Structures are given as structure tokens and as C-alpha cells.
With several copies, the nearest count.
Chain A
Amino acid sequence: MKASEALSSNQLLEMYYFARLARDVEERLVILFRQSQVIGGLYRSLGQEGESVATAYALERQDAVLPLIRNMGALMTVGVRPLEIFRQYMAKGTSNSRGRDLNIHIVHLPEPDADEPVIVGPISMLGDSIPVAAGIAMGAGMRGKPRVAMAWIGDGATSTGAFHEGMNFAAVQKIPLVVVAEDNKYAYSTPIAKQMAITRIDERASSYGIPHELVDGNDMLAVYDVAKRMVDNARAGGGAQLIGVDTMRMQGHAQHDDARYVPKAVLDAWAAKDPLERFRKALIEERHTASEQDFADIDRMTKEYAAKEADLAVDEPMPDPSTVARGVYAGDDFAVPRVELVASPFASKGSSA
């Protein structure tokens, strides 16, 4: 039996909720960007919300996530309150980085034995999060609180030396690390053919002896099935695993990029495969576990929620300049707001995340 078949209808709707919420949060961010409330890069995950959610949904509560800029879905799935994201993008003093760092660069490190997710946002240097993810999973085990670490990485970032060193180290040490390699066809303007001479991104794992599978990234159920299997393998002592995700970046690298280098026909073909739409259809028409109404309710819920959270963030204060030099080193007790984690409306009815 496929793992996804063991999911309750409530859990399935919860997956949709997270994906939808990710999309709505980003759409709010676009509005704020147009109002110049968000400065700097705004990176959309349009078309990739499904894989981002479905992979993270395979984790347990205490596991670690290392998302990249396009993994809004993963952040929603582990329960990061949207307000935290708006604060970051608007560089508010109330944000986890207190306006010191960009977009989703947030960090949440629970007490060693707490059943809370470890969240380590990226630094801009691509690839660096892979060795760090390996260290998190290794260190958690050393502390006697095993946690599977899941790290997302773009096709382009797999070309970095840090990716190689981290993957090989995790393989040799049999570390419970699950890497989600997202082939979204482009790295900024660079097509995948100029990024690697292999056609299946999951083969990036083959130099390391790491088990790997390729999955249709716009099929949330298929992604969940593979992710669950690999997370279970990793947790059971099977060592590092890699999921290759076949998907498409549906917008430019960031808002400033009109992506004219992407053929229109390609975009149209992928538009027809929108992961949320497909998921909705699958639940209604194939699984008959949900109704149009269920989805309509969620769509309204997430849209309103995203809007409310955005409005809250807008009114929050910018950082106090006089704090700029604080907290470079330990000892000046400069308080850092913890990332607020929230349960989804579906959690009460029993969710896995």
C-alpha cells in the first residue's frame, strides 16, 4: 500500500492547506513588493509549492528542515507562522533576524530534547546548507535525540563543492539526511543543460552510493510517497537519501526577472500541471475524499489568513539602529525573538506533521 493511502482525508486537506497558504503568502508578498514594503529580492515558488509541502509532510514533528528560498511550502508545513515570513521580508525589527537578514533566513533551535522542528534557513552561499544539515542530523543523534534532517537544494546548487562534500560525508557516515534536489529547469537564467550533463537530477546522488529516486514534482501524492519511504529509510538507519524532483519554476528567478529566456510553450505545458489543481482533482475525482466545498473553504481561509498576517506585519516597527552592533558575540544578552510555530486548523483532527 502506498503511504499516501494511509493519510486521512483530514491530512490530505491539511497538505493542500499548507500548499495553498504558501501560495497565498507569496501573493501577498508580491503586493507588498509592489508597494515597496518588501525591498530586495522576492522569490516565488509558484508551481513548486506541492513538492515543498509533500516532502516536508513526510517528516515527524522533531525533525529538522533546511529550506531554500523557494521552500515556503516546507516552512508552512512545519508550522512557521506566516507573520514571521512577512516580518522577514519587510525587514522588521520584530523578525527572527531583527531585520538583519533576508526573506526566509530564519533559524529555530529547540531545546535538545524538545519535540519541535529544527529550522535552519539558508545563507545565500548555495550548497552550504548540505554539510550543515548533515551535521544537524549527526549532532542530534549524538545528543540522544535522533532527528532526520531534510534539506532542499536547487539543480544549480548541486554544482557547488559544498554540496559534494556534504553529500559524500553524509553517505560515508550513514547520516539520516534526506536531500530534495529540485530540478525546476533553471538556475537563475541558466538552463539545466548548462548546469549538468545528466538528464535525471537524482543521479547527482550516484557518485556517493546514496539511494535516489526521481519523482513528478507536481504530483503531491507521488512526492509524498517517495518522501515518506526515504524519510523512513533514513530514520531506520539507511543513511542519506536523495529525492530528485521534476518540476518547473513558473516565474522569473525573482520579481525583477521577466524570464524571457524561458520558452512560452514550456510554461504553458507546465501550467496545465499545476500541483494544487492536480491534487484537488485527485482528491475529488479519484479518491472522493473531499468536495469542491472543502477546497473552496480552504482557499478562502488561506487567502484571508495571509492577508491578515501581512497587515499585522506592516504595522510593526523597523529595527532600532542603536542595536546594530549588538549580538555579534555571546555575552551582551541581546534577545532574539523565537520563531512562532502554529498548528494548522486541521491539526486538532489529527495530522502527522
Chain B
Amino acid sequence: MAVITYLEAIRQALFDEMGRDERVFVIGEDVGAYGGAFKVTEGLIDKFGEKRVIDTPISEAAIVGSAIGASYMGMRPVCEIQFIDFIACCFDMLTNFAATSRYRNGAAAPIVVRGPSGGGVGGGPFHSLNPESFFLNTPGLKMVEPSTAYDAKGLLKAAIRDDDPVLYFEHKFLYRRIKEDLPKDDYIVPLGCAAVRREGTDLTIVTYGAMLYPCLEAAATLEKERGAKAEIIDLRSLLPLDRETIVASARKTGKVMVVHEDTRTGGIAGEIAATINEEAFDHLDGPVLRVTAPDTPVPYSAPLEDFFLPNAVKIADAARKLVAY
């Protein structure tokens, strides 16, 4: 066991998988000698050489497009998008080419596209994106977002070994703030499985990514205040969603709120609310509530972004409302 950060866990997963399988390679901007804008790929080029750690021009469509082609030849490309916001520049390649490939002609396109997402670090409107709902409506894609170092490593290994295109969002706020003891030996965290981070009976909080922590904080407050026990579900996989775990918890507690850092309208909370409605309506003792960022681009200035982001206080407020409902 060794205490490592969320970022280091991602880096280890890349080292492990490239060592385990010579078909795995990394491609992106400044991923080579520089080791990536956040140093996630640091050292890879020394160990695996520049044939397997490819520095590209500033061309996201070429990064993803060439990865698709290489995957057709049996390779396992891992694309780095320097900031996940720039995934908008290869949106077509992902939604039209990669996502439909297997459905159209049975052609697997096992690529991984990873990059730093999320706010809370003063990145402003173009370096803080939570892109999940851009892709939630595209069958053929998978999406994950780890909230712990353990999952960061296990989900990336699972994504690289998966036979479908997987978008892997790493929350940059967690890169160096989250540390954990990780097992030395090889493990994966299977795609499509949520984790129950806290058992509870009075309400369910569904969340993922960096929001897990304010949710845990709010849950503790709630229990201290009034003994209300919140169950917290960390989605981990956003596509496919672990509907079983969500619905089971909803049936148990009868009260559900969804917390995401992404803006409200069109956010993933809608899909979860709809699912719970369809599969647990009779067990509901209150509305499925949402705690999210408001419907604006992500503002740069600290006072604005602090106000914009969901936090433990806002989550606790909503939770009290729901418990009292």
C-alpha cells in the first residue's frame, strides 16, 4: 500500500496498462517530454518511447480520428484532451464516427478519451467544463468520472480494457487534493457500477465527481443536526447509468436528490429523475430534487465561481427541505 493522489492514480493506471499491453498508447498535446499540462503522462515517454507517447499538433479531431483508425487495427489508444472543454472540437468524431461504428458495421472502436474536467480552480468559462450531458444522448459511447484515487485507477484500467469507446472525465479539482492508500496489485473498477459511499435510510443523494465531498459533508451535518441518515450514491459511470443501484436506494429511502456541479437545465439529473419516476414512483415520499450550478457559463472570478458552484451548505439546505417534506 502507498498513499497516492487522484492524479498519480491515473498516471499509474497508464503505466500499468501500457506495461501490460503493448497495444495501448497515449496520444495528445504536450503529453510527451512535457508530461501533459497537468503532468498526468509524466515519465511515460521515458519508459515507453515516443512511438507510444505521441505529441500531436493542436488538432483534437485528428487526435480522436487517428485513434479510431488505430483502434480498428487492434490498438488501444488513450487520447488526452488537454482541457476537456476542447472535446467540443472533436464532438463530431466522437458522436458520429466512434459511437456508431459498432452499430453500423460491427467495427469496434475501443478508444479512451480522457481529460481534466470541472471547475473550482478559477479556470473560467473555457477551462471548467462538465461535458457529460453533451454525450448522454449518444448511444454507443460510455462515460465515467471517478471521485476517488482508487476509482481513478480502477476505472481507467477498465476503460482501456473495454471494447467500446469510453470518455473518462477526471475532475481537476481532485487531482492533488485527494489522497488514498492503493493496493499494489492489479484491479479494475467495472464500468456501469455505482458505489454506495454512505448507507442511509432517510434520503438518497445521487452524485459523482468532486461533488461527492460536499455531499458527504452535508450528510454528516444532517445527521448531527437531526439524526437524519442520508444514503450517498457515487455514480462513477455516467453512461451506462447504474439504474439498479439508484432505483433500489430510491425505493428504500423514498426521497432522492441529485447533486451535480454541471449546470441545471439539461444536466444528467434529469435522466435520473425520469428513471426514478418510472421505476420507483410508488415509493417516493417527496419530489426528486436537484442541486446544481445555475444556468450560466462558468464564471472566472473567485467570488462568482464560489457563488456559482454547489456546496455543502446548499446541499444541506435542500436535504433538510426533502427530509422535512
Contacts and interface: CB of A to CB of B under 8 A. Distances in A.
Interface stretch (A46-54, A152-160, A283-291): A152-160
Contacts of A169: 56-57, 59, 62, 66
A245 B295 CA distance: 42
Contact of B59 (A112, A168, A189): A168
A296 interface: no
A83 interface: no
Interface stretch (B1-9, B69-77, B150-158, B209-217): B69-77
A172 interface: yes
Contacts of A189: 30, 32-34, 55
The number of chain A residues touching the other chain, given as a range, is: 35 or more
B58 A187 contact: yes
A330 B102 contact: yes
Main secondary structure of the interface of A (DSSP, over half): loop
Contact of A126 (B58, B294, B296): B58
A142 B51 contact: yes
B274 interface: no
A3 interface: no
Contacts of B75: 139, 142-143
Interface string B95-116: 0110011111111100000000
Contacts of A137: 69
Nearest to B192: A329
B301 A188 contact: no
B104 A107 contact: yes
Interface residues of B, number: 75
Given A142-B25, A189-B34, A330 B59 contact: no
A211 interface: no
Given A121-B105, A123-B126, A168 B62 contact: yes
Given A135-B72, A156-B58, A159-B57, A100 B297 contact: yes
Contact of B34 (A40, A99, A261): A261
A145 B126 CA distance: 32
B43 to A, nearest CB: 15
Nearest to B162: A330
B269 to A, nearest CB: 18
Interface stretch (B82-90, B171-179, B244-252): B82-90
Contact of B296 (A97, A145, A325): A325
Interface stretch (B181-189, B195-203, B224-232, B304-312): B304-312
Contact of A132 (B56, B97, B294): B97
A160 B59 contact: yes
A99 B88 contact: no
A39 B122 contact: yes
B44 to A, nearest CB: 14
B276 to A, nearest CB: 23
B72 A100 contact: no
Contacts, number: 260
Contacts of A132: 65-66, 68-69, 72, 97
A265 interface: no
B72 A109 contact: yes
B37 interface: yes
A222 B85 CA distance: 38
B107 A131 contact: no
A166 B70 contact: no
B139 interface: yes
A328 B300 contact: no
A305 to B, nearest CB: 25
Interface string B21-64: 00101000110111001000000000000011011111111101
Contacts of A120: 69, 72, 107
A165 B59 contact: yes
A123 B140 contact: no
Interface stretch (A18-26, A232-240, A316-324): A316-324
A335 B106 CA distance: 8
A231 interface: no
A275 interface: no
A132 B73 CA distance: 11
A101 B51 CA distance: 35
A271 B162 CA distance: 50
B122 A40 contact: yes
B287 interface: no
B125 interface: yes
- Top 6 A-B pairs ranked by shortest CB distance? A135-B69, A131-B65, A99-B301, A336-B106, A139-B70, A139-B73
Given A126-B58, A133-B69, 12 more contacts: A91-B300, A124-B85, A131-B61, A131-B69, A142-B73, A159-B59, A160-B59, A162-B65, A187-B57, A195-B58, A318-B303, A330-B163
Interface of B: 23, 25, 29-30, 32-34, 37, 51-52, 54-62, 64-75, 77, 83, 85-86, 88-89, 92-93, 96-97, 100-108, 122-127, 139-140, 142, 162-164, 294-297, 299-304, 306-308
5 contacts: A131-B93, A321-B304, A328-B140, A329-B142, A330-B102
